[in-house]
Amino acid sequence: MYDGSSIEALVAILRGEVARLAPGDRLPSSRDLIARHGVGPVTVSRAIALLAAEGVVVTRPGSGTYVAARRARPADAEPDTSWQTVALAGRQFPAERPDEQAGAPAPGTIALSGGYLHESLQPTRLLGGALARAARRPDAWHRAPAAGLSTLRTIFARQTGGDVGPEDVLVTGGTQGALSMLFRALAAPGSPVLVESPTYPGALAAARSAGLQPVPVPMDEHGLRPDLLADAFAMTGARLLYCQPTFHNPTGSVLSPERRRQIVDVARAAGAFLVEDDFARHLGHGRPVPRPLVADDREGTVVHLTSLTKPASPSLRIGAVVARGPVMRRLLGMRRVDDFFIARPLQEAAVELLSTPTWDRHLRSLAGELRQRCLVLADALARELPDWSLLRVPEGGLHLWLRLPPGLTEAALVDAARTHRVAVDPGQHFFAAEPPAPHLRLGFAAAADPADLTEAAARLATAAGRAGTAGA
């Protein structure tokens, strides 16, 4: 038997032995290490492989494992990377967010931040079985087509609906990389891109990395406002709109049926592309989910994004872009430059996953779990923090969006929440311009248990009192 902890333990022991030996000295044989430490041969081989990859040891087949030569370097020497400041001048890239710089959360922290399911909600057994079956296929490790496996493209086309066919689908490694590719493909550096306000921070980062200038367009309780969208197109000359019509992140809103037609018409009249991020297609809470915008678009205005990552696992980096016309040819050209193709074993595993009836059962079970967690957190917040404004109880997605009361700042609350072992997402990161008010995004899917959500609300109430006192 072996596991990650036993490998790590053996690596630590071997590091200690290497530190006491001189370069060129031979380490004990694998047989000796197995007998001495009571581990299996696989554990020994993996531990030695890790040390060899780090350059700590050198393996010589048929001879043994030896301490590698140590590079001479003063113990107090600091690496000088100041030259990079000049080399990187003029190259803009999103900086690390302040909340990301805070480091790992303290033990016992309840996660109301982030955008992934807790492992208890992930179909890990289903994923493991799909990957095992995929690996047994004779062609599992062959090169995949640039556009993706035809079977997987057909599945995504069928899920999208309308007259979308497999030829309109490009398999991607999730949606974040696809967003970066789309922004580079659809607009020239320096161009404006219209976004909802608020919107997904990853989209803002991807747009800025592509050299685009995000321009916010306000929303109301029914989603993006078509009148202000038309004004924004007219004033900026933008040829690109990014939006999330279904279970919008962070607000959870769903674009009303009338507006779903209107914003496509407005974008088409402006000669613009509409990038529809449909990340939450499989995250409904039990009620019917509206058709994607692209299903009713025949002119190629809508470029559609979807993903399996959110309803399955952070490491199932499989998604799809649906596009028509010259833009698809451009995306295929970029694929051949960027990464050639998406790893075939992962695509084969996605085919296995989506082709089994247990996937649909997982989605139905997940819908019930998310609905319960959403209501638990909303009810707990209403009891503990009645002066916080919950803008809506969403019917899908993973988050609640709240406006903080006057006098309570995001920074003070986030710091106090961290002290009380609750991780939250400050609202300022979701705005392309100045936020109109302080907000928080609170997730209900990353906590280990629904009871943790009730405890988190109580901790936030204590943190809010402390933050308010500090602000006064």
Question: What pLDDT shows up at residue 102?
Answer: 60
Q: Which CATH class is domain 110-117+360-471?
A: alpha beta
Strands 302-307 and 213-220: unpaired
Give the per-residue pLDDT at 98.
54
- The three state secondary structure string of the chain is CCCHHHHHHHHHHHHHHHHHCCCCCECCCHHHHHHHHCCCHHHHHHHHHHHHHCCCEEEECCCEEEECCCCCCCCCCCCCCCHHHHHCCCCCCCCCCCCCCCCCCCCCCEECCCCCCCHHHCCHHHHHHHHHHHHCCCCCCCCCCCCCCHHHHHHHHHHHCCCCCHHHEEEECCCHHHHHHHHHHHCCCCCEEEEEECCCHHHHHHHHHCCCEEEEEEEECCEECHHHHHHHHHHHCCCEEEECCCCCCCCCCCCCHHHHHHHHHHHHHCCCEEEEECCCCCCECCCCCCCCHHHHCCCCCEEEEEECCCCCCCCCCCEEEECCCHHHHHHHHHHHHHCCCCCHHHHHHHHHHHCCHHHHHHHHHHHHHHHHHHHHHHHHHHHHCCCCEECCCCCECCEEEEECCCCCCHHHHHHHHHHCCEECEEHHHHCCCCCCCCEEEEECCCCCCHHHHHHHHHHHHHHHHHHHHHHC
Give the length of the chain: 472
Distance of CA 370 to the CA centre of its chain: 18
d(CA 29, CA 450): 50
- Domain ranges in the chain with CATH number 3.40.640.10: 124-355
CB 278 within 8 A of CB 306: yes
Q: For residue 467, give the nearest of 410, 425, 423, 421 by alpha carbon.
A: 410
CATH, domain 124-355, list 3.30.465.10, 3.40.640.10, 1.10.275.10, 3.30.420.40: 3.40.640.10
Both tokens of 402, joined, read: 């709240």
Closest CA to 69 of 18, 137, 120: 18
Axis-axis angle for helices 357-384, 450-471 (nearest 10): 40
| Consecutive 10-residue averages of pLDDT for the chain (472 residues) | 71 90 91 90 91 90 88 67 77 61 78 94 95 92 94 96 95 92 95 97 94 95 94 96 97 95 96 96 94 94 96 95 95 91 95 94 97 97 95 95 94 93 95 93 95 96 81 49
Which residues pair with residue 64 across a beta bridge? Answer: 60
- Every domain range in the chain assigned CATH 1.10.10.10: 4-67
> What is the rounded CA–CA span in Å between residue 457 and residue 454?
5
Tokens 């982030």 locate to: 114
Nearest C-alpha neighbor of 452 from the set 432, 409, 423: 423
For 4-67, CATH gives 1.10.10.10
- Residues forming CATH 3.90.1150.10 domain(s) in the chain: 110-117+360-471
Residue 232 neighbours by CB under 8 Å, 6+ apart: 194, 215, 217, 238
Rounded CA separation 358/364 (Å): 10
